[in-house]
């Protein structure tokens, strides 16, 4: 069933089309644990998922990324056998989720967006129930429950009613439920949503520790999470896969579009006028004013170094240049670049005549770029949307 | 084999819900309190009737305990079942849907039928427990009455009560699977049960064709013979097919939910 794999070495994928794309060769021990081919789910005329295809190798942690409503949850629900697809094929651990749903379900641990817990049960009896319906043998049951409790660090609350637990603990109970029967595949729908920073780090570590033994699909719209936990990313937007690569490659692919950030002691107008003479600038975006200093971001033509020219122009205009730094694109920018068409068009089509028009569409970008990758701000804003 | 373990797991979990919340206690209390009241009324009527002069030669026949106490009590409890069973069924599926735990059940290696049957038997077992505890009231009569009343009609009567309540439970489970809101499910069930109960009022020897059919569907109609101690396969089959139909509807509704969402 899982032919064409060399454990721990370079892989020779089956399909010749994949050979052409070198990014697959980075994957170790490529056994296809999850295969999704041209998956489609329509509600009347609306397509929630329109032709999604991807594969996940054994032991891989795949980040499933996309804005709200992109079709992440729908795809995951199809993979877990919660709902049937309109067309297309999906296999989990070699089992077709439509033809042999019971075997497929047995191979998957699933954490839905809201942890599926009964508030009126305590943690242990809840996990006991889960073990029973997941077909864990009665002899193994206690050991499995203890192991799940230990892995999800639920020891101190194991006899508490789930209804009395905090959101973070409930989420962990959900994770314990998913890993309980030790399935080869784990599908986690936004596992860190609603957790505090400490819990987020712990959960990420837990997920990382699960990779290797388990194949994990992790959906999120929190980008730092992806670069920290996932070996590979599939970005979907409006029901389609728009990119599939390692987080590093995705960032690298667009790093040439990185901007130059200037801090000058002048008002925006003066700075604009000073920069007007510089060759090779595509756009200038004001990024705010801090204690009388203006912060600007310059976008250069591709492959052109404008640092020296820009610095000279500012100084020549008798403006104090306070700092200058290269802004590399974060995953957020890549994400927006790929999921919003407008952003791409603006940067591609922009001409010199539009130079000094602040791009309104890129305002939220500014905010996220101002923060370090692990920004609780971005996370809380994101999680609000889902509620 | 795993079919039974799966059903058993659901039954067990339903019991944890029933007895981990006030529902089971409220249902047991209501049932037993009303049973005692009806029992006492019936007992009082019986005592008055037996003290009446004219018993024996020439007058009306001596009142019989089965006819005067057991039968009316059990028949009255059929109406109480109509109020109490929605308490047991309203949250069965609606609450799973609201809490998002349906997603756990639907993605576990367990079939819809196993879930539906597990929930049905979970509710029926609590209902059976209500009947069993209330029958303790009759023990006193059996201990002191002379001559001994017949015990068979009591058993068949209890069975009738159980089967009739199971019909309500099967139907109530179906209604609960239609909504996320357990209150809505409860009210709908109650109204429907009431409507079904009123159908039995149509039952009279003069009734014409269609009216007869409607009366036949009134679940309490089929209790009459059984409470008298007559076990007719026709009635048993009626109840079992009613239950089967209710469970089938539930399973269909649960399955169609996968396609609707």
Q: Tell me, what's the pLDDT at A65?
A: 86
Give B130-150 pLDDT, tens digit per residue: 999 999 988 888 888 777 888
Which helix (H) or strand (E) segment holds residue A243: the answer is: strand A240-245
Q: Are strands A232-237 and A293-300 parallel, antiparallel or unpaired?
A: unpaired
Question: Residue A143: inside a domain, yes or no?
Answer: yes
Question: Are residue A96 and residue A228 in the same domain, yes or no?
Answer: yes
Of B107, B109, B110, which has the smallest distance from its Cβ to A82's Cβ?
B107
The reported pLDDT for the residue numbered B60 is 63
User: CA of A119, closest CA in chain B: separation in Å?
Assistant: 9
The verdict on a CB contact (< 8 Å) between A105 and B102 is: no
Q: Are residues A146 and A30 in the same domain?
A: yes
pLDDT at B189: 95
Region of residue B209 (left: phi > 0; alpha: psi -120 to 50; beta: else): alpha
The alpha-helical segments, DSSP class H, found in A50-122 are 72-79, 101-106
Residue A87 in domain = yes
Mutate to test the interface with B, among A118, A126, A162, A177 (most CBs of B within 10 A): A118
Is residue A145 located within the same domain as residue A262? no
Question: How confident is residue B261, by pLDDT bands cut at 50, 70 and 90?
Answer: low
B18 reaches A (C-beta below 8 A)? no
Give domain status of residue A9, yes or no. Answer: no
- Shared domain for A202 and A333, answered yes or no, is no
Q: Is residue A7 part of a domain?
A: no
Residues of B in contact with A132 (CB under 8 A): 5-6, 8-9, 12
* Region of residue A48 (phi > 0: left; psi between -120 and 50: alpha; otherwise: beta): alpha
Nearest to A331 by CA among A226, A238, A207, A244: A226
Q: Look-up: residue for tokens 């699977």?
A: B177
Domain boundary among A252, A277, A303: A252
A374 and A310 in a single domain? The answer is yes
The predicted model gives B30-45 an average pLDDT of 93
Residue numbers in chain A where pLDDT is lower than 50: 1-29, 342-387
Specify whether A245 is located in the same domain as A297: no
Task: Tell me: do A153 and A221 sit in the same domain.
Answer: yes
pLDDT of residue A331: 63
- pTM, two decimals, is 0.78
Average pLDDT over residues B20-28: 93
Strands A87-92 and A95-96: antiparallel
Asked if A102 and B100 come within 8 Å (Cβ–Cβ), the reply is no
Residues A105 and A124 in one domain: yes
Domain count within chain A: 2
Task: Give A-chain residues touching B6 at CB under 8 angstroms.
Answer: 132-133, 135
Count of CB pairs separated by less than 8 Å, A with B: 80
Of A197, A217, A252, the position where a domain reaches its end is A252
Out of B100-109, B123-132, B202-211, pick the least confident.
B202-211
How many domains does the structure of chain B reveal? 1
Q: Looking at residue A289, which CATH number applies to its domain?
A: 3.30.70.1710
pLDDT value for A201: 86
Q: Are residues A34 and A64 in the same domain?
A: yes
Range of A313's domain? 255-382
Are residues A313 and A343 located together in one domain of the fold? yes
Q: What is the pLDDT of residue B193?
A: 92
Q: Look at chain A and count its residues.
A: 387
| pLDDT tens by residue, A178-206 | 999 999 999 999 888 778 888 888 888 88
Token code pair at residue B248: 């089938």
- Check whether residue A171 and residue A284 sit in a common domain: no
Q: Residues A300-337, buried b or exposed e (16+ Cβ, 10 A)?
A: beeeeebeebbeebbeebebebeeeeebebbbbbbbbb
Cβ distance of B20 and A120 shorter than 8 Å:
yes
Tell me whether residue A6 is in a domain: no
| Residue-level pLDDT at B54 | 57
A223, A252, A281 — which closes off a domain?
A: A252
Residue A146 confidence (pLDDT): 95
Which pLDDT belongs to residue A26? 39
Closest CA to A246 of A258, A230, A229: A230
> In CATH, what number is assigned to the domain containing residue A167?
3.40.50.300
Subunit contact A116:B13, Cβ cutoff 8 A: no
**Same structural domain for residues A365 and A294?**
yes
Residue B107 contacts A where some CB pair is shorter than 8 Å: yes
Q: Is residue A2 part of a domain?
A: no
Percent of all residues in chain B with a pLDDT value above 90, rounded to a whole number? 60
CA distance A337 to A254: 9
Specify if A128 maps to a domain: yes
How far apart, in whole angstroms, are the C-alpha atoms of residue B38 and residue B36?
A: 6
Distance CA A195, CA A172 (A): 10
Q: Which of A307-311, A342-346, B67-71, B214-218 has the lowest mean pLDDT?
A: A342-346
């Amino acid at each position: 069933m899982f032919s064409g794999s060399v454990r721990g070495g370079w892989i020779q994928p089956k399909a010749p089309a994949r050979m052409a794309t070198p990014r697959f060769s980075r994957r170790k021990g490529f056994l296809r644990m999850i295969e999704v081919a041209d998956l489609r789910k329509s509600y009347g005329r609306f397509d929630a998922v329109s032709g999604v295809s991807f594969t996940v190798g054994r032991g891989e942690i795949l980040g499933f990324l996309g804005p709200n409503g992109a079709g992440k949850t729908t795809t995951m629900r199809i993979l877990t056998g919660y709902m049937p697809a309109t067309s297309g094929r999906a296999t989990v651990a070699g089992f077709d989720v439509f033809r042999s749903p019971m075997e497929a379900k047995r191979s998957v641990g699933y954490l839905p967006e809201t942890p599926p817990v009964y508030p009126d049960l305590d943690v242990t009896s809840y996990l006991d129930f889960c073990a029973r319906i997941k077909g864990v043998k009665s002899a193994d049951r206690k050991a499995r429950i203890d192991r799940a409790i230990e892995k999800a660090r639920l020891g101190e609350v194991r006899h508490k009613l789930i209804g009395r637990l905090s959101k973070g603990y409930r989420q962990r109970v959900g994770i314990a439920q998913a890993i309980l029967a030790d399935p080869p595949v784990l599908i986690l729908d936004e596992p860190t949503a609603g957790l505090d920073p400490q819990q987020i780090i712990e959960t990420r570590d837990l997920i990382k520790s699960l990779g290797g033994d388990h194949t994990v699909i992790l959906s999120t719209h929190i980008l730092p999470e992806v670069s920290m936990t996932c070996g590979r990313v599939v970005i979907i937007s409006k029901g389609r896969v728009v990119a599939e690569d390692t987080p590093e490659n995705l960032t690298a692919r667009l790093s040439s579009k990185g901007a130059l950030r200037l801090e000058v002691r002048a008002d925006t107008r003066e700075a604009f006028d000073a920069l007007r003479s510089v060759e090779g600038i595509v756009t200038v975006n004001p990024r705010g004013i801090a204690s009388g200093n203006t912060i600007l971001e310059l976008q250069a033509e591709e492959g052109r170094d404008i640092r020296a020219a820009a610095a000279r122009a500012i100084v020549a205009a008798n403006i104090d240049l306070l700092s200058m730094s290269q802004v590399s694109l974060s995953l957020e920018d890549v994400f927006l670049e790929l999921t919003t068409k407008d952003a791409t068009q603006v940067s591609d089509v922009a001409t010199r005549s539009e130079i000094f028009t602040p791009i309104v569409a890129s305002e939220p970008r500014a905010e996220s770029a101002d923060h370090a990758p692990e920004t609780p701000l971005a996370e809380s804003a994101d999680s609000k949307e889902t509620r | 084999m795993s079919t039974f373990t799966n059903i058993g797991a659901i039954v067990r979990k339903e019991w944890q819900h029933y007895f981990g919340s006030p529902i089971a206690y409220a249902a047991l209390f209501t049932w037993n309190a009303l049973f005692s009241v009806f029992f006492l009324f019936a007992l009082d009527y019986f005592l008055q009737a037996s003290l009446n002069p004219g018993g024996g030669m020439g007058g009306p026949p001596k009142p019989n305990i089965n006819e005067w106490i057991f039968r009316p009590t059990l028949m009255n409890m059929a109406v109480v079942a109509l109020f109490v069973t929605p308490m047991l069924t309203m949250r069965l599926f609606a609450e799973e849907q609201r809490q998002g735990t349906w997603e756990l059940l639907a993605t576990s290696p367990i079939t819809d039928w196993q879930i539906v049957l597990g929930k049905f038997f979970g509710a029926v077992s609590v209902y059976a427990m209500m009947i069993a505890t209330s029958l303790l009231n009759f023990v006193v009569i059996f201990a002191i009455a002379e001559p001994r009343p017949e015990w068979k009609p009591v058993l068949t009567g209890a069975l009738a009560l159980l089967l009739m309540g199971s019909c309500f439970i099967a139907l109530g489970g179906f209604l609960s699977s239609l909504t996320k809101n357990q209150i809505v499910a409860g009210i709908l069930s109650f109204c429907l049960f009431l409507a079904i109960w009123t159908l039995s009022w149509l039952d009279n020897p003069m009734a014409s064709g269609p009216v007869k059919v409607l009366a036949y569907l009134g679940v309490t109609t089929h209790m009459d013979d059984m409470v008298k101690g007559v076990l007719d396969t026709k009635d048993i089959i009626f109840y079992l097919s009613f239950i089967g139909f209710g469970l089938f509807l539930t399973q269909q509704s649960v399955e169609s939910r996968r396609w609707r969402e």
